Amino acid sequence: MAETPAPRATSNRSTTPGSSTFKDFIGSQWADRARSTPAAREQAAFAAERRARISALHPGVTLVVPAGQAKVRSNDCDYPFRAHSAFAHLTGWGTDAVVGSVLVLAPSAGGSGHDATLYFRASAGRDSEEFYANPEIGEFWVGPRPSLDEVAADLGIATADLGEFAVVADALGSDALLVRDADPTFTESIDTRVGALVGGVAEQDGVPATDDALARDLSEIRLVKDAYEINEIRRAVAATGHGFADVIADFDQVLAHPRGERIVEGTFNRRARADGNTVGYDTIAASGSHACILHWTRNDGAVQPGDLILIDAGVEVDSLYTADITRTLPVSGTFDDIQRLVYDAVLEAADAAFAIVKPGITFREVHATAMQVIARKTAEWGFLPVSAEESLQPDAQYHRRYMVHGTSHHLGLDVHDCAKARRELYIDGVVEAGMVFTIEPGLYFQADDLTVPEEFRGIGVRIEDDILVTEDGAENLSVGIPRTASDVEAWIARS
């Protein structure tokens, strides 16, 4: 196996000894490491079925799915590595995936289906310079990597050393398909080897059309979750519920700190690291009028008595599946009359949307149902210049001033899952059993919005739940996290 060169930005400050005496000494007198062949992990069979599905969509064509590289945070410091979601979906590898790995599905010699091989950088010997001198991948720095045999048994897939992939790359034809956004440097190297039109002869906005189709198909096969995926999302939801409870228990510290939103964020993130891998996305901890900023992630504001705080957060478990839940909480323990009025309106919209979910409806109906409630409530309060019915017309939409976002998105490995699926299978698609998506209506009255009375200004409320479509209806996976105004108040009182 060829050794990987020393990493970036270290040569001008390296103190690693280079003498042959040192190399001989550090490479010797290590006890044999006990290795055992693991049983295949639970998700291995599910991942094999997913590979079979993508294989059937692209017969006779080589498919290349990189895991990606760690992304630079600053200079030679990287963000924690997370494998590309398509790679994780097809391999079953989660937080323990090896950086830079590549999954190749090659057409079977018999002409039916594909043979899968997972190429990754296998463990280097402790007699190698990589072991002690490479801070990016060396075992002394980041821990040992598994062997080829261990991963083959663990994931139920053939493995090969990453160094052997060069031969595969040289043999790729122009019809090979590549997940291009997983690893830009890798993509550039493949394009250089094979030619700029990897994956076909037609381009759409600079992306070979068939590569775009592969990305689309990899999204679309995730629209309906298998049993393993559903269970992992349940685990993520449960951990997220614990995170919300932790935040409530810390409300005294939250109120006392000048940047109380950061205390909320830190408390939730602690739970995400303890019970999972990390957060599935940047936590939104938006107190007071910050709740009217939809993606408020600065979280640097104070939390004042009497505020509502909107917390949009989700734990990503070690399999990389995430929850996505929002609760809006009165930090003093009770809603005032106007806060409760707004909260109950949002809850009514959420409940109305949930009530129609079942196989056979179209996905867009979920949003449309929630909007009927939002339009009706804002019209009743006198905020609209027209009736609710008039506002709901496509060329009107006055009520959307107070809720500009959509009501639902698919959920899974990505918080906004299946993003490259075709519109006719997503927003215009028919809902099927096994789909998991959010329902998250809201009302946001900006602090300087002159269309609403002063007592409404600065109030932002969102209630978001994770919904599983069943054979005859739907299940709210996050219903155990208090969501009615009375239950929220009782929850805070108990804490």
**CATH T-level topology, domain 227-494:** Creatine Amidinohydrolase (3.90.230)
Element (H, E) at 107: strand 102-107
Whole-number Å distance between alpha carbons of 299 and 285: 6
Cα(131)–Cα(339) distance, rounded to whole angstroms? 59
pLDDT at 174: 85
| DSSP secondary structure, 256-273, as one string | HSTTHHHHHHHHHHHHHH
What is residue 105's three-state secondary structure? strand
Distance CA 155, CA 162 (A): 17
From the list 243, 235, 247, 187, the residue with the least C-alpha distance to 211 is: 187
Each residue's pLDDT tens digit, 371-393: 999 999 999 999 999 999 999 99
DSSP letter at 443 equals E
| pLDDT classification of 204: cutoffs 50, 70, 90 | very low
- Nearest Cα residue to 476 out of 443, 441, 438: 438
More confident residue, 8 or 354: 354
Average pLDDT over residues 162-169: 94
d(CA 276, CA 235): 9
pLDDT, residue 111, reads 77
Output the CA angle 430-433-438, nearest 5 degrees.
Answer: 75
pLDDT exceeds 80 at position 8? no
Residue 415 CA to residue 281 CA, distance in Å, equals 7
Q: pLDDT tens for residues 246-294?
A: 999 999 999 999 999 999 999 999 999 999 999 999 999 999 999 999 9
pTM: 0.95
Task: Give the pLDDT of residue 14.
Answer: 78
Output Rg (C-alpha) for the chain, integer angstroms.
26
pLDDT at 1 exceeding the cut of 50? no
Whether the Cβ atoms of residue 177 and residue 63 lie closer than 8 Å to each other: yes
| Domain 38-220 indexed as CATH 3.30.1600.10 | no
> Token digits for 61?
């064509």
C-alpha closest to that of 387 among 352, 403, 396: 396
Domain extents for the chain?
38-220, 227-494
Q: What is the mean pLDDT of residues 98-103?
A: 97
Confidence of residue 197 (pLDDT cuts 50, 70, 90): very low
pLDDT in tens, 430-462: 999 999 999 999 999 999 999 999 999 999 999
Token pair 């969102």 in the structure block, residue: 462
